[in-house]
Amino acid sequence: MRSRIESVWLHGNVLAQLEREADLAYPLETGGVLVGYVADNNESVVHAVIGAGPKALHARARFEPDHAWQCEQLDDLFKSSSGQWVYLGDWHTHPDGRPKMSWLDRRTLRRIAKHSGARIAHPLMLIGGGSPAAWTWAAHRGASVSRLGPRCLTEALDIRAF
């Protein structure tokens, strides 16, 4: 059992793309999918980011991704990495807000964790709060219910660039 804060590693290109997409959609919310692998020490390494997609719908405090497009992108990344890069979780913005988990974000994270198709027990949720050129990113991860109890379903992670 570990109590220290674990890390999520973001490739420099990943952070640049997240900020670009966040800027473009502002003042509306946007988001997408995080792709990479889970290292032997259990830390997530994000190598690529998929955006909301061309047919996504954006509102002030929610967005509806272009799911079919995202799946195609995920397939392409899986193939081009010889099956090494997989779905790690989701990311989205809170325009003019803080990068904290809303109750809806918690519900989404629980749903992802339960969804067998995601094949990941502890999905990531990366949230960017703020406005163009002033985003603050915070990473959260779905934790196991058995370990932390039903009232504490997420834990904050340390974000590191590489």
Binding site for Zn ion (CB under 5 A): 102, 105
- The residue (of 36 and 95) whose beta carbon lies closer to Zn ion is 95
Measure Cα distances from 5 to 130, 149, 157 in Å.
24, 18, 6
Q: Which residue is nearest to Zn ion (CB)?
A: 105
Shortest Å distance, C-beta 140 to Zn ion = 10
Shortest Å distance, C-beta 2 to Zn ion = 26
- The residue (of 81 and 138) whose beta carbon lies closer to Zn ion is 138
- The residue (of 47 and 92) whose beta carbon lies closer to Zn ion is 92
Phi, psi of 76 (to 5 degrees): -60, -45
- The residue (of 43 and 105) whose beta carbon lies closer to Zn ion is 105
Shortest Å distance, C-beta 128 to Zn ion = 10
Shortest Å distance, C-beta 17 to Zn ion = 19
